[in-house]
Amino acid sequence: MKDVLDMGISELRNAMDEGKVSAQELTTQYLDRIEAVDKKVRAYVTVTEEVALSQAKAADEMIKKGKAGPLTGIPLGIKDVICTKGIPTTCSSRMLKDFRPPFNATVMERLAEQGAVMLGKLNMDEFAMGSSTENSAFFETRNPWDLDRIPGGSSGGSAAAVAARMCVASLGSDTGGSIRQPASHCGVVGLKPTYGLVSRYGLVAFASSLDQIGPLTRSVEDAALLLEAVAGHDSRDSTSLPRPVPPFAKACRQAMEGLRVGIPKEYFIDGVQEEVVGSIRQALRVMQDMGAELVDISLPHTEYAIATYYIIATAEASSNLSRYDGVKYGFRAKDYSNLMDMYKETRAQGFGPEVKRRIMLGTYCLSAGYYDAFYKKASQVRTLIVDDFKKAFKECDVIAAPVAPTTAFKIGEKVNDPLKMYLSDIFTIPVNLAGIPGLSLPCGFDQNGLPIGLQLMAGHLQEEILFTAASNLEKGLGLNNRWPDLT
């Protein structure tokens, strides 16, 4: 039998149903893998060994009774921004270092219903603010393809754990590219779903109008299966869309012939690494050979996306993070003289530099006399970006573009230059502003052997078209059997 660490969700489902491997055996192998490899990669903040083995035992009982779903017994990693009852949920911040939520996020409830196994919580940029996982209060996560490089961010631990085969798949969150960018840098599949498709109840908020939970996986079909499990309406999230969950995995088996693929001129600009452009052009030729039609399109307001995002996202962060005051839960400073001093000291000591920077930017944008000049204006430009995509999708079914301007950069390379760091999300941010789905798919490697991702975007609630295009391209490229060697 093929090594279970090399198997995806469907293969493992068949192997467990046929009695070739039990959920407990599978979970033990993954826990052993974490023990062997994570000292190099450092993807996990918390490994939940006892919980995982208990869940695996329960999964084996479900399988025996013939009640197994697609994810029953499948070992997963969870980004440490998603609430897990009684298990530390730190957001990789000193502010929540000892916080144990009294409830589960909706996505965790849905995984539990299926009998999935949680191996642990994964490292990230503090409060999901960053593009490199260097902003974690605990430690840096390293890219499994090159341990001197970043894995991307903020879901760097989620992407690195999948690439290093320390979980079958993982959940991350994406506010401005935080699933797709690390997926690109680590050579895995990452999906940011349509805003409202997956409940945000129990997702620790960064920017509420942009945040969305999504899967990071080894294959497009695995992403479809994981999305099917966690998507769907939730009355506890006012932004959750009241619609049935489509059979996403079925869409992976549809042909791509006749699909119109839009090529936005604004995404192929100076400053993008030549090998990135070359790999994407080659992938587009493969799509064309498979029956897709390439269409030139324009998204004219793309150049304003970064500025718009860093006003809206920081303003919402300023509001959301005001709850961390040392009174209700989380970290509290030890030495203070009065209530105001306690607030100041707690927030000064509890938050890291990047989080403080964004809170200050957002507070300024919302302050008296500046709201209209900044937040209101940014909201108006956001509407123009939404309209750009609506017009584009009249001419095409999906849009293809780079995920990031370069492959993974060296650890420490951009940490002292926030603007350079922010620009690494230039191609992912518009998707969040528009609320549409975006997927990162491995499409090649640069001369240093570092993965390159292709971004596919589709219209509002058009995940099925996205999965059809991505799964066909994945088969055409044949890259998803190549993994980093960490031995």
User: Which residues are designated catalytic?
Assistant: 79, 154, 178
Closest alpha carbon to 401 in 351, 450, 457, 355: 457
- For residues 440 and 190, give the distance between their C-alpha atoms in angstroms, rounded to a whole number: 5
| Cβ atoms 463, 456 nearer than 8 A | no
Tokens of 15: 């192997």
| Ramachandran bin of 115, using left for φ above 0, alpha for ψ from -120 to 50, beta for the remaining angles | left
Contacts of 37 (CB under 8 A, 6+ apart): 164, 165, 166, 486
The pairing of strands 438-445 and 398-402 is: unpaired
